[in-house]
Structure 1
Amino acid sequence: MLNANIPPASELPSSAQLLRSTAIAAATAAVLLVTAVLPAEYGIDPTGVGRVLGLTQMGEIKVQLEEEAEADRLGNPAAGTPAGEQRSSLDAVGSFLAGLVVAPAAAQTLSATPPAQATQSDTMKVTLKPGEGVEVKATMAKDAALTYRWTTEGGPVNHDTHGEPTDDPNATHSYKKGRGVAGDDGVLKAAFTGKHGWFWRNRGSEPVTVTLTTSGAYSDLKRVK
């Protein structure tokens, strides 16, 4: 050890170089947090990159599973706390970090409004494997309404009727929730312009088929996950 060569001071990094390296590392970590960690773990996607990469859907499923597990642990047959309320603090953190390192979303996306919708009717069937979750949504303008009815064959499901506004796809508004339900019907009136529909999860040990019938002012009714 006594014979070790000590580098001269001229070869050591300067304070400015160390500060620059630290700043680059911090910025890189913040970008990864906003674009990968928050979408994949919490379903929070302030940049939209997570949804393109499929990470946001993964996070949303994780949050849904955690809510269901907590409700099961508490033995509460009613719906759990809406995801938007549980994640409000995380949303605030994500939005703050996004404002520091990411540019705002494109203006044309925020201002996009679907054209006037004609009345239509549809019937759709989806089959859920044990433990599987399925989501079906339609595009609706603000204050548009549709009547719906869905039933299950093979067992009950957990469900969440909700919507996501066009100008903020990361925000979720829940209209109705239920656990261990074999069917539901009613009128869904859009609280805002965006995607509106249903999420079902089969918590049983056998496949379950959900049959959905809709009629009203909407378009693009389709399975999204």
Structure 2
Amino acid sequence: MSANEQPTRPMARGRLILAALGALLLAVLIVLGAILPAEFNRDPLGVGKLSGLSRLWAPEDQTVDTTAGAARAREYDTPFRTDVIEIPLGDFMAGADRSELEYKVRMKKDATLIYAWEVIGTSEPRDFRFDQHGHTTPKPGEAMAVSTWKQAFGLKQQGALTSPFDGIQGWQFSNSSEKPVVVRLRLAGFYELIPSGQPGNEAGIVANVPAAQARPAP
């Protein structure tokens, strides 16, 4: 050993233990703060959320193809409108011409209608039947396209429909109770009311007036 060289002294045992504990603590922090959030979506310290490391675990974003299948957004030429139609129906003794009728609205293909109706005057669902359907209004000699949505007994219904063709959409309402009832129908969307006497409104129901004024006398 030359005169200028200094002998290497081993690290004190206490310092060695502290260094080992420090390295172990650092390794634990790296696992908890970086590896777990990035690789396993576990973030016990909250560091992954703050640093953005948790995004490394997340799957890639998926872009929705809005051109495939039913359109999620659409524009219409038909103006938006809302209406309330009160349809009076006689009891079953009044005869079919007073206790049941068909009420529809005119819709373009792919137009949307939001609806809600309820029956006032009876509390027994079996007393009232409805047939929700639609069809085209073809010229003589042309085939008719028909859409049947629901046939059931009940006192209320709400939902939305998109017309599969240019035509009329709506309901056949039938009251078989011992009392007259009123169907209160609320509509909103892109449709046109059908004038009195035309297919879909042969009964001549008038919209946006009280039930007593909504149906012409026989």
TM-score computed with the length of structure 1 as normaliser: 0.45
The higher radius of gyration belongs to 2
Higher helix proportion = 1
- With a CA cutoff of 8 Å and minimum separation of 6, indicate the structure with the bigger relative contact order: 2
Normalising by structure 2, we get a TM-score of 0.47
